[in-house]
Structure 1
Amino acid sequence: MKISIIKPGLLSTIQDMGRYRYLSQAVPVSGAMDELAHRLANKAVGNDDNDATIEFTYADASFKAETPILISYSGDGAFLVYNNELMPAEKPLFFPAGSVIRLINNPIGMRTYLAVAGGWEVPDVMKSKSTYLTAGFGGFKGRKLQKADVLVSNTILNEVSSKILSQLIERSLTYPHWRISRESLLPKKRQKIRVVLANEICWFDATSILSFLTGTYSIDLRSNRMGYHLSGKRLVKKVKKELLSTAVTPGTIQVTGSGNLVILMADCQTTGGYPRIAHVAAVDLPLCAQLKPGDSIQFSEISGEEAEELYLEREHDLSLITMAISLKYI
């Protein structure tokens, strides 16, 4: 399966679930910002969760099917449009060769993931296909997608993807009645980000901690795949301590020297010297990934045990989705 990029959009890159084996060599995780949307797009066409997708930032992009293609998409950054018809998300979509598909703006979020049956075929770099733009490696030639780029899928399909394709292949657009309900996997209040308090929380005075847990913060224009800078009330340290550079991961919330907050995201560094006040619960990182500059959020404290339980519950739900799709086609 093959597509050509007509209009790449603001920032479109190839991503998978990231590279975790080289953190000790200071190589960032990278990978999909919204891991949930990435995984659901893959599941809808029968792929493994780690198969490569295209991460589109915002919309205003388009591509052409150079061959018949079986794709799916998920995320809140854009809608797929074909012949002026909105395409449903989180379900397999078959398009004949020559089809031109556009991405138009979805005001809810920021990022959308496009999966193809078999996954997008790019070389593995450090056991991942994810693009790390800062160092210029991974993904499609280590860079964002450009006009006239041609992307192809892995030619070897697993049994589920093959069955989906065989049932949908036609001379025109086709898709099944079923879809994955992404909404059921997300909390209703998407501006409430659940966090676990972190190591240096005791470095800050009571007023700052109260402000952190009750105040409203907005996403600053400087935010990117490395981290989200937050605008809001500055926090004040009550101790004169400096932190030696120590481990950080996507979801770590740091307090800068000026008292501002930064949520580290997929392309963040592996160590940092700013105090860590909290860590975003893993199940809420997809919510952060869809935040746009100007969006407002609040933080809600939960325990580490609650965060783990929420994570395991979602993983259980995702495994049931995989099983249901497999049983339908095998």
Structure 2
Amino acid sequence: MSMKISIIKPGLLSTIQDRGRYRYLAQAVPVSGAMDELAHRLANKAVGNDDHYATIEFTYADASFKAETTILISYSGDGAFLLYNSEVMPAEKPLLFLAGSVITLINNPLGMRTYLAIAGGWDVPDVMESKSTYLTAAFGGFKGRALQKGDVLHSSTLLSEISSEILNRLTERSLTYPNWRISRESLLPVKREELRVVLANEISWFDAPSIISFLTNTYTIDLKSNRMGYHLSGKPLVRKVKKELLSTAVTPGVIQVTGSGDLVILLADCQTTGGYPRIAHVAAVDLPLCAQLKPGDEVRFSEISRDEAEELYLEREHDLSLITTAISLKYNKT
């Protein structure tokens, strides 16, 4: 039997996302997927799901939903807190609610996006091997669109052994949540306003003062920013090479420099090719920080090597693997 919720208030922008569709870049299909993949994965881990299971990505707060059945959910991310009966529910741990419960998302000023996982994952059709919503082309997710008032969402009926055991233990003890949680803070850098970058292919196209400026100045997230990319306000960069770049491959995390010298960080729904020069690429471990930046937030860049970026990525993956193992051992029935 599947779990079920109904949307009372959808919020500013709420969509179904998973880890994206990487196999179709050659067909010019964007990756899409969760903007903050770390929060997405931790929400899934907390209820015993695989990392790729679909979650709901809420942008900011001001949303609410009703449990139409008993539900086992978890949430992660800096955009909102979950509120039930006037009490803020803890993040990064399993939460059990009975049918009829109304849960509200209230503002967390720290960030922008929050991810809601349900045991078994949200049951929507796969499109090109992913459940992620790509709004521009209106496919994936829930009917290819953002969630609306009155939408009813179901979980998959196939729960993992861990999900089933978490559900059984909370039900038997009449608990809303257990006494453990995942420490997302320990997986994030202390300086959340600083993004580590690897210098990219066209760095030599810019004069020395511009490169120094890029690595020392502060930039502000512009109001034009969205899931395709963040436009940054700051001192324009100056090109010393005037030739044009042939359209070339780009991926989320690439930082392009427009013809006017402004910076754009490409994100989850970005195009697959672009003609602007690429000055740097945000390290994969810092992309979750990008996802939580809001218009008006300030950000700086610091250079690291490609090897350092890879080492940081592998360290985080190792930590995430340990979290999965720890939860598995805690709920192993043997």
Q: TM-score, normalised by structure 2?
A: 0.98
Residue number among 100, 103, 112 corresponding to 2:102 in the alignment: 100
The alignment of Structure 1 onto Structure 2 pairs a total of residues equal to 330
Write the deviation string for residues 92-113 of structure 1: whole angstroms up to 9, x where unpaired: 0000000000000000000000
Indicate the percent of aligned positions where both proteins have the same amino acid.
85
Query: Does structure 1 residue 285 correspond to structure 2 residue 287?
Result: yes
Query: For the residues of structure 2 that align with 1:53 and 1:169, how far apart are their CA atoms?
Result: 23
Query: For the residues of structure 2 that align with 1:240 and 1:145, how far apart are their CA atoms?
Result: 45
Structure 1 residues 311 and 112: alpha-carbon distance in aligned structure 2, compared to 1, 3 A threshold: same
Write the deviation string for residues 15-48 of structure 1: whole angstroms up to 9, x where unpaired: 0000001000000000000000000000000000
Query: Does structure 1 residue 32 correspond to structure 2 residue 63?
Result: no
Query: For the residues of structure 2 that align with 1:307 and 1:181, how far apart are their CA atoms?
Result: 22
CA drift at 1:9: 0.1
Q: TM-score, normalised by structure 1?
A: 0.99
* Code of the aligned partner of 1:305: D
Query: For the residues of structure 1 that align with 2:326 and 2:123, how far apart are their CA atoms?
Result: 26
Query: For the residues of structure 1 that align with 2:175 and 2:90, how far apart are their CA atoms?
Result: 12
1:8-157 equivalence runs, <5 A: 8-157=10-159
**Residue aligning to 1:225:** 227
Q: Which consecutive aligned stretches of 4+ in structure 1 deviate over 4 angstroms post-superposition?
A: 170-173
* Code of the aligned partner of 2:289: L
Structure 1 residues 318 and 175: alpha-carbon distance in aligned structure 2, compared to 1, 3 A threshold: same
Query: For the residues of structure 2 that align with 1:316 and 1:174, how far apart are their CA atoms?
Result: 30
Query: For the residues of structure 1 that align with 2:265 and 2:243, how far apart are their CA atoms?
Result: 21
* Code of the aligned partner of 1:207: P
**Residue aligning to 2:241:** 239
Query: Does structure 1 residue 215 correspond to structure 2 residue 217?
Result: yes
CA drift at 1:170: 5.8
**Residue aligning to 1:187:** 189
Write the deviation string for residues 287-326 of structure 1: whole angstroms up to 9, x where unpaired: 0000000000000000000000000000000000000000
Query: Equivalent residue of 2:227, what SS?
Result: coil
CA drift at 1:240: 1.3
* Code of the aligned partner of 1:117: A
Query: For the residues of structure 1 that align with 2:271 and 2:246, how far apart are their CA atoms?
Result: 15
- Does the 8 A contact of 1:220 with 1:230 survive in 2? yes
- Does the 8 A contact of 1:95 with 1:173 survive in 2? no
Query: For the residues of structure 2 that align with 1:63 and 1:29, how far apart are their CA atoms?
Result: 28
**Residue aligning to 2:320:** 318
1:246-261 equivalence runs, <5 A: 246-261=248-263
CA drift at 1:173: 5.5
* Structure 2 unmatched runs, 5+: none
* Code of the aligned partner of 2:295: P
* Code of the aligned partner of 1:21: R
CA drift at 1:241: 1.1
CA drift at 1:172: 5.9
